[in-house]
Amino acid sequence: MPLHAEQETIGKVTLDYRKYSGQDLYCDGEVENELLRIARDLSPVEYARVIEESKSWPILYHFSPLRENIVEWLPLKGTEKVLEVGSGCGAITGALSRKAGSVTCVELSRKRSLINAYRNGECENVTIRVGNFQDIEPELDRDYDLICLIGVFEYGQSYIGGEDPYGDFLKILLPHLKEGGRLLIAIENKYGMKYFAGCREDHLGTFFSGIEDYEAGGGVRTFSRKGLEQIFDRCGAGERHFYYPYPDYKFMTTLYSDGRLPGQGELTDNLRNFDRDRMLLFSEKAAFDGAAKDGLFPVFANSYLAVIGPGFACDYVKYSNDRAAKYAIRTEIGRKESGERYVRKYPLSEEAREHVRGMAAAYESLVKKYEGGRLEINRCRLEDSEELYAEFEYVEGTPLSQLMDQRLENGDTEGFHRLFQEYLERVGYNSDYEAADYDLIFSNLLIQGDTWTLIDYEWTFGKPVPVKEAAFRAVYCYLLEDEKRNRVDLDRILAELEITPEDAENYRAQEREFQKFVTGNRLSMAEIRDLTGGEILVPQKWIHRFQEDKGASRIQIYRDTGSGYREEESEFLEDPWQSEREAEFTLSLSGDVRRLRIDPGMEPCICKVLDMVFNGREVPLGKKGVVTVNGKVMKSSYVFPTADPNISLDLEALDRQAENTLSVRLEVVRLPLDMAEDMAASVKRFF
């Protein structure tokens, strides 16, 4: 493109360069050339393969389809004018384009704008304004239905400057909304649970920066909910609503709201360190469970989606789009105009429409199967007029998984097994019927009084499934979700189900095949994290190892004054180590000490006496009877294939006086037991 050109068209996307300075002031370096190559040369259907093969955080971040989830759920009519500020490489531009009438993007970087244009080249309703926001802003329209700041608001200090850059940012933007319009801000919560648990601050890459209120400085700021509301108040923003993307807004799989907050046991997907190493200071799931129980989830949610303007009738969204396209769906809980709540499942691709239609047929077949039994099937109807979705009745109740957790936490083992037996009885009714739900996991059953309702039967097949197979899968999934559940007596359950170890392994293999069937052999986000993510560092293990190391390397001294060595009269030396392997110490010994025992550690080791001087004279280590050990001698070293190595010195065989001094210098190398045993076995005789 000539530098003087004011406009460029790529595909159907228009790029406007009238305010572009000619230089990209914000750039991630060489990786952006690779992003541009992918967007220009590859089809979106190839992105999943490229993400898996590249094992690259930038490629995952910019091209994962899950990035669109943060806006895909918005109930737009298709006529709205949208302004996307800070559109970057276009991760959400395409989703906005498909849902709205027109999309105007503002982006500082020309290269990122090109990436956006190439990847969304079929979007004829997209215009990208390239240049500094403050230069472009005066020319922007003032009747937008929706303004999006996705991962942008935190940079207000850099964009706007001044004493109140964040409030001023909103003061500049809000006049561009039409009456009744909405401004969306997706941003991390500075007090997000993941930061307390040991994730680095997303922008600075440092630990606890937001929690410490950015004491070290930096040009970025995220906020608590209260902090955001204070900014909204300062700039005169009126109505506002908060939504809670989980695990965060970048790769959101679930969206909560004040109308539908998470319950205990729901927040299990917490290891999301795709770009950096992280610590793991505690169980985020357990901490989230406690916060949810005490009504504190809005305080500790990892991210916010703040809406200035009217809220939405949708209270909850769950995405299942890390699957094969023909099974990709969105589940939504919302409110009708009458106030009645509903649950709806929408296809996220043309291929998935048949999958959604099959849910109504599954309902009919399961109702027939359980007729006369004690398991209710959540009512389902299919809507296929303007938009296709399966609508389910909103059922109140407590998940069976939560009731089971309560039994375990209370130590009520028999109560747990009574629930499990009732589960077997209810779901196993009419087990020979030619239809069965393969996904009869405990969290899919809601309990209210004596009524058990199956709320999700997406994976219903036209063939019977043995109840023990369904039950094994339910237990298997239950245990995988939370380590605390490992207190379940699995052997007892397998015995009750008459499942052999061979059966169990076959069922596990079958489950792996099922997951491949659902994902279309695509990698899950957990698997991608393992490929692209940093390490998970567990300080508790370091501390334990340090304590173990410290304990294992302690040197213990016993004095025998005639009644033998006695544990209660022994002592541990205070910091004798001069280096990792070398210890040096001097002991004062009264004349009544007949023998002295030195334990050079608390685990198998090889020990070399570098120096041993008693009352100014070298101890004759080779003289028979002077030194005995409970190991074996290898030339000038002792090998101890025991966790209680000891060296005994007979002081009566030396020049003992009324007051004595023993100076010792040792080199000690700890060994694995099997290695110490092998070394000791090669020595012919004990000393």
pLDDT tens track for 406-429: 999 999 999 999 999 999 999 999
Q: Please, which pLDDT band fits residue 544 given cuts at 50, 70 and 90?
A: low
* Per-residue confidence (pLDDT) for residue 484, from 0 to 100: 81
Q: Which of 24-28, 133-137, 432-436, 443-447 has the lowest mean pLDDT?
A: 24-28
What's the average model confidence in pLDDT over 108-117? Answer: 96
Question: Does pLDDT of 390 surpass 80?
Answer: yes
Please state, for a pLDDT cut of 90, what percent of the chain lies above it: 79
Nearest Cα residue to 378 out of 359, 395, 402: 395
- Write the secondary structure of 49-96 as one string of H (helix), E (strand) and C (coil): HHHHHHCCHHHHHHHCHHHHHHHHCCCCCCCCEEEEECCCCCCCHHHH
pLDDT tens track for 345-378: 999 999 999 999 999 999 999 999 999 999 999 9
Q: Are 380 and 455 in contact (CB under 8 A)?
A: no
Please tell me what DSSP assigns to residue 213: T
CATH 1.10.3470 describes domain 398-532: no
Question: Does pLDDT of 40 surpass 90?
Answer: yes
H or E segment to which residue 165 belongs: helix 165-173
Q: Please, which pLDDT band fits residue 686 given cuts at 50, 70 and 90?
A: very low
Strand order through the sheet with 451-454: 376-377, 451-454, 445-448, 398-399
Radius of gyration of the CA atoms of the chain, in A: 34
What's the average model confidence in pLDDT over 189-207? Answer: 96
Question: Does pLDDT of 533 surpass 80?
Answer: no
* Per-residue confidence (pLDDT) for residue 580, from 0 to 100: 87
- In the chain, CATH 3.40.50.150 sits at 7-251+286-309
What's the average model confidence in pLDDT over 324-348? Answer: 95
**What average pLDDT does the chain have?**
93
Considering the domain delimited by 7-251+286-309, tell me its CATH architecture: 3-Layer(aba) Sandwich (3.40)
Question: Does pLDDT of 444 surpass 90?
Answer: yes
* Per-residue confidence (pLDDT) for residue 685, from 0 to 100: 41
DSSP-derived 3-state class of residue 650:
strand
* Per-residue confidence (pLDDT) for residue 540, from 0 to 100: 75
- In the chain, CATH 1.10.510 sits at 398-532
Neighbouring C-alpha atoms within 13 Å toward the C-beta of 61: 19
Tell me how far apart the alpha carbons of residues 110 and 107 are, in angstroms, rounded to a whole number: 8
Q: What are phi and psi for residue 471, nearest 5 degrees?
A: -70, -40
pLDDT tens track for 471-484: 999 999 999 888 78
The structure's pTM equals 0.80
Q: Please, which pLDDT band fits residue 1 given cuts at 50, 70 and 90?
A: very low
What's the average model confidence in pLDDT over 458-475? Answer: 95
* Per-residue confidence (pLDDT) for residue 4, from 0 to 100: 53
Q: Are 573 and 662 in contact (CB under 8 A)?
A: no
- DSSP H helix total and E strand total for the chain: 22, 34
* Per-residue confidence (pLDDT) for residue 548, from 0 to 100: 61
DSSP 447-470: EETTEEEE---TTEESS---HHHH
pLDDT tens track for 478-523: 998 887 888 898 899 999 999 999 999 999 999 999 999 999 988 8
* Per-residue confidence (pLDDT) for residue 523, from 0 to 100: 86
Q: What is the dihedral of CA 447, 449, 451, 455, to 10 degrees?
A: -20
* Per-residue confidence (pLDDT) for residue 2, from 0 to 100: 42
What's the average model confidence in pLDDT over 141-149? Answer: 98
Q: Look-up: residue for tokens 């901490």? A: 287
